[in-house]
């Protein structure tokens, strides 16, 4: 059965932001570029997460022994935005711009000082990473069914990191940051559609983007221990990961549509290395790395109520990245449930809103960790954690 025009290209009408594995905050969809005619879009989302666990710290009465205590919520709510413009510059050629914030994190907590410890130790962590991505796309449509596209991505990245006190297991604070660093990447893909059946599928590959920022590091101790007061400024390599997106939608009746997406991200090759700490060790010290690649999927159903209103519901799951439980990686995968609706103010203008609930599954607890996360603070247990994303999208066809 043929689907009504109102169901066409509704696959990604709900806000596409995720609280996903590793540092991912966007699924990097190019669905806006595959809209018919000229199209402009703005979307925004707020993600509110509740993530905590238990960690070990020196006992206040006997610093040589450790006591398990609860952490506060160590993730901060964050705001994301996306802007897209697609122009059909000729019958067979299209051009587009997409701005998003694909990778980022903002975690941090502080526990009260251990007053009986030698340096009045504070257990504190703060790690922030921001990226901004501007993608330019060119598409060639040899027929109404096929679209071949490619483009370039300009990306900036900056980080801030502070690990204090017994989070490091020594009587010192570690502070590091990078300036905003620009770099370029590329993408390419193919799309096939049958508009009268609201059928559309696309496969998109994005390359890794390699940044080489100056990394400023410093350790300091109170009381002062000269051997622990070190500093370094060196260029490091941070490559945001390559990825592959498969998106599909199809009308199943005049008023019903199914949609799905599958995303693979190569987190296993992502590393953030400390030159300063590596200089005192036999091998490189990874501040951040991940043990396996990420695979996430979404399956949804949309129903057209009338010419103005469309509703949808979807479920999702994420494979995680295999890291043991730490304040860097308290959860390892998730299940999600999203609901939303679209209101067509007129045939060319719509507004969509949605809410998505994420049940974050616990990462595996390992007391003697090696590798990523142990410098941030090993978790001795993980609570039942969750996140909620609220999204709003405005789209205009012209």
Concatenate the DSSP letters of all residues of 50-82 into one string. Answer: E--EEEEEE-SS-TTSEEEEE----B--EEEEE
CATH of the domain at 261: 2.40.160.60
The alpha helices in the chain, defined as continuous H runs, are 275-278
- pLDDT digits 0-9 by tens, 67-101: 777 877 878 788 889 999 999 999 999 999 999 99
Q: Going by C-beta distance under 8 Å and a sequence separation of 6 or more, which residues neighbour residue 194? A: 145, 200
Distance CA 13, CA 353 (A): 8
pLDDT attached to residue 62:
63
Give the residue from 60, 127, 109 showing the smallest Cα distance to 379: 109
pLDDT attached to residue 366:
75
Do residues 313 and 10 touch, judged by C-beta distance below 8 A?
no
Do residues 272 and 371 touch, judged by C-beta distance below 8 A?
no
Domain that holds residue 391: 5-397
Token pair in block for residue 26: 């966007």
Q: For the chain, what is the domain count?
A: 1
Q: Going by C-beta distance under 8 Å and a sequence separation of 6 or more, which residues neighbour residue 313? A: 300, 301, 337, 338, 339, 340
Token pair in block for residue 162: 């502070």
First-last CA distance in the chain: 28
Distance CA 170, CA 112 (A): 17
Burial class for 274, CB neighbours closer than 10 Å (0-12, 13-18, 19+)? buried
Q: List beta partners, residue 317.
A: 297, 335
Instruction: Work out whether the CA dihedral 286, 288, 289, 291 comes out positive or negative.
Output: positive
Residues of the chain with pLDDT under 70: 1-20, 57-64, 111-123, 165-171, 222-224, 281, 367-377
Distance CA 218, CA 162 (A): 10
């Amino acid at each position: 059965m043929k689907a009504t025009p109102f169901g066409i290209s509704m696959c990604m009408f709900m806000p596409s932001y995720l609280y996903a594995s590793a540092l991912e905050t966007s699924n990097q969809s190019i669905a806006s570029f595959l809209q018919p005619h000229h199209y402009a879009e703005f979307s925004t989302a707020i993600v509110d997460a509740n993530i905590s666990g238990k960690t070990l710290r020196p006992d206040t009465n006997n610093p040589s022994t450790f006591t398990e205590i609860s952490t506060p919520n160590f993730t901060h709510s964050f705001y994301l935005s996306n802007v897209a413009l697609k122009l059909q510059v000729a019958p067979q050629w299209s051009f587009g711009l997409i701005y998003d914030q694909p990778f980022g994190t903002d975690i941090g907590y502080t526990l009260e000082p251990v007053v009986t410890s030698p340096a009045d130790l504070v257990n504190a962590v703060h790690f922030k990473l921001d990226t901004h991505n501007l993608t330019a796309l060119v598409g060639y449509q040899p027929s109404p069914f096929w679209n071949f596209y490619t483009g370039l991505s300009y990306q900036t990245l900056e980080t801030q990191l502070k690990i204090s006190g017994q989070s490091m297991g020594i009587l010192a604070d570690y502070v590091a940051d990078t300036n905003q660093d620009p770099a370029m990447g590329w993408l390419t893909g193919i799309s096939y559609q049958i508009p009268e059946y609201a059928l559309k599928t696309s496969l998109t590959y994005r390359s890794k983007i390699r940044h080489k920022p100056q990394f400023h590091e410093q350790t300091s101790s109170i009381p002062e221990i000269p051997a622990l007061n070190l500093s370094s400024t060196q260029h490091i390599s941070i490559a945001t990961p390559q990825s592959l997106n498969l998106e599909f939608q199809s009308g199943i009746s005049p008023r019903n549509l199914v949609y799905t997406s599958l995303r693979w991200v190569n987190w296993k090759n992502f590393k953030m290395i400390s030159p300063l700490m590596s200089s005192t060790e036999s091998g490189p010290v990874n501040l951040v790395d991940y043990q396996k690649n990420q695979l996430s999927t979404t399956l949804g159903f949309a129903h057209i109520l009338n010419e103005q209103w469309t509703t949808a519901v979807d479920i999702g799951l994420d494979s995680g990245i295999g890291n043991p439980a730490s304040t860097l990686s308290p959860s390892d995968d998730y299940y999600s449930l999203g609901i939303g609706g679209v209101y067509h103010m007129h045939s060319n203008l719509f507004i969509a809103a949605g809410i998505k609930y994420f049940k974050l599954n616990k990462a595996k607890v390992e007391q003697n960790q090696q590798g990523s996360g142990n410098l941030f603070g090993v978790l001795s247990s993980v609570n039942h954690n969750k996140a909620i994303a609220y999204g709003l999208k405005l789209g205009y066809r012209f």
